[in-house]
Amino acid sequence: MKEASAGDGILVFGASGHAKVVIDIAERAGVPVLGLYDDDAALHGKQVYGYTVKGGKETLLSSGDRLKAHRTVVAIGSNAARSKIAAWLVANGYTLCEALVHPSAQLARGAIIGKGSVVMAAAVINSDTRVGQNVIVNTGAIIDHDCVIGDGVHVAPGVTLCGGVSVGGHAMIGAGAVIHPNLRIGENAIVGAGATALKDIEDGMTVVGSPARPIDRK
């Protein structure tokens, strides 16, 4: 797995709490942050860790091709919003950066992390696990061997995915959840904080509790 290198630096889209963590990881990995953007006009001109929010998508569009040489990362916690903005960036000629990995994270042999993804402090990704694009592997999460994580997933702090787990695109695995070996978590599924999954979870399903049981989304 190739970690992000300094190169010519990155552009960060997103300027709220998640962006603070992404900026910290980039700096610790030696990757210069060259610009900070967010569509929330209330944030324009404000600073996050010394970086001024320059504008949103319209600002990027008005720059023409000048900024397209720089790689980008979307620093937004919402799976839907993160994936939508990443798709917009790529459609408009921007390139997602190589995965940003906190120096304290542990990546085992054969682990592959997709572009635009962020691996946070003390996370562990074990052998031959494949993580897609625009994924968040949050603080202290453990993803064991031979897991497959789809694009746009958020694995929250303290999650444990046992070996051979498959997680469909844009699923949300809540803080402290435990997924037993060789299970499938469907696309757009939500596993509640602290839940223990003992069987497969269907696409779009929300489960809570230990053992995890489905509930209706409202």
Question: In this structure, are 109 and 178 located in the same domain?
Answer: yes
pLDDT of res. 216: 80
Residue 6 has pLDDT above 70, yes or no: no
Q: What is the pLDDT of residues 49-68, one digit of tens each?
A: 999 999 999 999 999 998 99
Instruction: Please tell me the distance from the alpha carbon of residue 21 to that of residue 137, in angstroms, as a whole number.
Output: 12
Confidence of residue 218 (pLDDT cuts 50, 70, 90): low
Residues 199, 141, single domain; the answer is: yes
Domain count, the chain: 2
β-sheet with 118-119: strand ranges across = 100-101, 118-119, 136-137, 154-155, 172-173, 190-191, 206-208, 213-215
- Indicate the residue among 96, 119, 152 that finishes a domain: 96
Structural domain harbouring 167 = 99-204
Q: What value does the mean pLDDT take over residues 138-167?
A: 98
- Residue, of 203 and 7, whose pLDDT is higher: 203
Active site positions, annotated: 145
